[in-house]
Amino acid sequence: MEDCIFCKIIKNEIPSRKVYEDDEVVAFLDLTQVTKGHTLVVPKKHVADIYEYDEELAAQTFSRIPKIARGLRDSDPSIKGMNILNNNGELAYQSVFHSHIHLIPRYTETDTFSVEFGDNSQKHSPEELDTIKNAIQTRMEE
């Protein structure tokens, strides 16, 4: 894609701080640095989001994450945890429409990143959960 900033990084048309690269995947520091070391793992093949991955691309991309995450963690002894995120679609805060995975190191409970999971367990009956489960399974079989 001509206007894709990640494709330009992959082609070395614009500078980046790459921490990893092979024939299928590149990883570089995110400019926003939500926390120090915030890294993006990006397939070199342009796909907009997770829904466009085939099994091969998923295996190529996701199999690199543990190695990159360990390198990131081991680079700084003050890293105490890591969030690994993939945003798909504007509503999910995807801002660059070339699929990528965020590796966000965590240092303390007061660093500059937070995720809040609401507990909606009381809103869905077991029957509703079965309906949701069945709908997902049916779509995966198609």
pLDDT above 80: residue 89: yes
Rounded CA-CA distance 60/22 in Å is 10
Range 80-89 burial, b when 16+ CB lie within 10 A, else e: eebeeeebee
Is there a catalytic annotation at residue 100?
Answer: yes
Does the pLDDT at position 1 exceed 80?
A: no
Residue 6 pLDDT grade (very low, low, confident, very high; cuts 50, 70, 90): very high
Residue 85 domain-assigned (yes or no): yes
Which residue type sits at 7? C
The verdict on residue 51 lying in a domain is yes
Q: What is the CATH number of the domain that holds 60?
A: 3.30.428.10
Please say whether the beta carbons of 41 and 29 come within 8 A. Answer: no
110-142 confidence digits (pLDDT tens):
888 888 889 998 999 999 999 999 999 999 987
**High-pLDDT (> 90) share of the chain, %:** 89
**What's the rounded mean pLDDT across residues 75-90?**
97
The reply to whether 104 falls in a domain is yes
- Locate 131 and state its tokens: 């309906």
pLDDT score at 87: 97
Structure tokens at 79: 């890293």
Q: Which domain holds residue 30?
A: 5-115
**127 inside domain:** no
Alpha carbon of residue 20 to chain centroid? 15
pLDDT for res 71: 98
Average pLDDT over residues 20-45: 98
Question: Would you say residue 61 lies in a domain?
Answer: yes
Domain assignment present for residue 131? The answer is no
Strands 25-29 and 101-106, bridge-based pairing = unpaired
Domain-embedded: residue 121: no
Q: How many CA atoms lie within 13 A of 11 on its CB side?
A: 11
Alpha helix segments (H runs only) across 36-116 = 55-62, 65-74
Catalytic residue among 38, 100, 102, 124: 100
Which tens digit of pLDDT belongs to each residue from 37-61?
Answer: 999 999 999 999 999 999 999 999 9
For 14-31, what is the mean pLDDT?
98
For residue 124, being part of any structural domain is answered with: no
Total domains in the fold of the chain: 1
Supply the mean pLDDT for the chain: 95
